[in-house]
Amino acid sequence: MTLISQDELLAILADELDVARSQLEALGTALISDPVVVKGHITQLQALDHVGQRCASVAAILRSDDLHAASHSATLESIPARLATLVAAMGQRHH
């Protein structure tokens, strides 16, 4: 078994997230072509878009030279917010 570097593994994972996002976008595009679906499921369609954005954001972090800095400047508010909560919880454990 050939070992790959951490950078190569992160790049592979980022590529997989790109594929997932592409599939979500294709699904969303197909679904929004039906006005009945849009009318009855707008919230769910927006959730599909949000998941795609999360995939793109995480993929960008994985491709970054500085994962820590990239995660704190992520375009989705949920990632920096979760990191802040984690850091706060870790700080409480050490006191």
Q: What is the pLDDT of residue 74?
A: 74
* In the chain, domain spans: 6-93
Q: What is the pLDDT of residue 19?
A: 97
Q: What is the pLDDT of residue 93?
A: 65
What confidence tier does 95 reach under pLDDT thresholds 50, 70, 90?
low
Model-level pTM? 0.74
Query: Which residue did the predictor score with more confidence, 15 or 69?
Result: 15
Burial 53-66, CB ≥16 within 10 A → b, else e:
ebbbbbbbbbbbee
pLDDT digits (tens, 9 = 90+) for 32-83: 899 899 899 999 999 998 899 889 999 999 999 988 888 877 776 666 666 6
Q: How many helices (H) and strands (E) does the chain have?
A: 4, 0
Q: What is the pLDDT of residue 18?
A: 97
